[in-house]
């Protein structure tokens, strides 16, 4: 039995800057002024981590940021849920077919490891009909930005939830992280997970090379390399 944990942004879909816009609007509404975003890359980072970096660059100290973060994440979530539409979302090549093929197998459990807060993760997937394969025991299975701002915490959280939600037990080498950034490829090391890189985000295959992935793919248009890798 394999646990396959997908990143969302740049891996399953992209949202055409909707997250960035919602963060800018959230910060402007909360503090009554605008913030500089240009120096902050969002790729592979959790939502709380992105807020932390923007506020830190603007001169806020860690204690202030800790104090503001819960309200900011709540406001950001409401802004995203109110504004995000399916028209804004591009599902990446082959994703519906690959997800459906893996979901049909009884030796694969699908989950998520994403920096999105859980409710936003669900909204993005649900709007394009991709949520159901990731729902187990009536909840998205995964580790989310709402669980921790530190991405390397998230695979272990997803694994705990997989053990709580199903009768299956997954050893580290049967846990796979599929993502579009070096952060994704590194984040599962703590639990012995292996990684698959897909070059559908801001990173090319060459960029993703050298980060220890078991497999690098241009996109998810063919499920065969994944199936071979998982020996399923």
Residues in contact with Mg ion by the rule CB under 5 A: 7, 9-10, 180
Minimum CB separation of residue 150 from Mg ion in Å reads 16
Cβ closer to Mg ion: 10 or 182? Answer: 10
Quick one: 60 or 111, whose CB is closer to Mg ion? 111
Report how far residue 9's alpha carbon sits from residue 142's, in angstroms, rounded to the nearest whole number: 14
Residue 133: C-alpha distances to residues 22, 93, 102, 123, 137 (Å): 27, 17, 9, 14, 11
Nearer to Mg ion, 7 or 147 (CB): 7
What is the DSSP annotation of 173-187?
A: GGEEEEESSHHHHHH
Length of the chain in residues, anyone? 232
Which residue sits closest to Mg ion, CB atoms considered? 10
φ/ψ of residue 111, rounded to 5: -150, -170
Placement of tokens 């009768």 in the chain: 167
Burial (CB count within 10 angstroms: exposed 0-12, middle 13-18, buried 19+), residue 114: buried
Q: How far is the CB of 1 from Mg ion (least distance, A)?
A: 25
Minimum Å distance from CB 9 to Mg ion? Answer: 4
- Identity of the residue, 109 or 177, whose beta carbon is nearer to Mg ion in the bound complex: 177
Q: Smallest gap, in angstroms, from Cβ of residue 31 to Mg ion? A: 27
């Amino acid at each position: 039995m394999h646990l396959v944990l997908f990143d969302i942004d740049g891996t399953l879909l992209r949202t055409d800057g909707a997250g960035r816009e919602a963060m800018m609007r959230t910060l402007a509404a909360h503090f009554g002024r605008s913030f500089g975003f240009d120096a902050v890359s969002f790729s592979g980072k959790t939502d709380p981590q992105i807020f932390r970096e923007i506020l830190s660059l603007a001169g806020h100290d860690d204690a202030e940021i800790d104090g503001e973060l819960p309200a900011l994440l709540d406001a950001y979530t409401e802004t995203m849920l109110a504004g995000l539409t399916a028209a804004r979302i591009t599902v990446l090549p082959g994703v519906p077919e690959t997800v459906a093929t893996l979901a049909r197998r009884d030796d694969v459990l699908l989950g998520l490891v994403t920096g999105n807060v859980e409710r936003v993760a669900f909204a993005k997937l649900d709007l394009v009909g991709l949520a159901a394969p990731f729902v187990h025991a009536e909840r998205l299975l995964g580790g989310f930005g709402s669980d921790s701002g530190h991405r390397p915490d998230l695979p272990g959280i997803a694994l705990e939830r997989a053990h709580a939600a199903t009768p299956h037990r997954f050893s580290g080498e049967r846990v796979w992280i599929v993502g579009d950034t070096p952060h994704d490829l590194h984040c599962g090391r703590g639990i012995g997970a292996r990684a698959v890189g897909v070059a559908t985000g801001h990173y090319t295959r060459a960029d993703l090379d050298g980060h220890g992935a078991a497999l690098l793919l241009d996109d998810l248009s063919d499920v065969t390399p994944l199936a071979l890798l998982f020996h399923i």
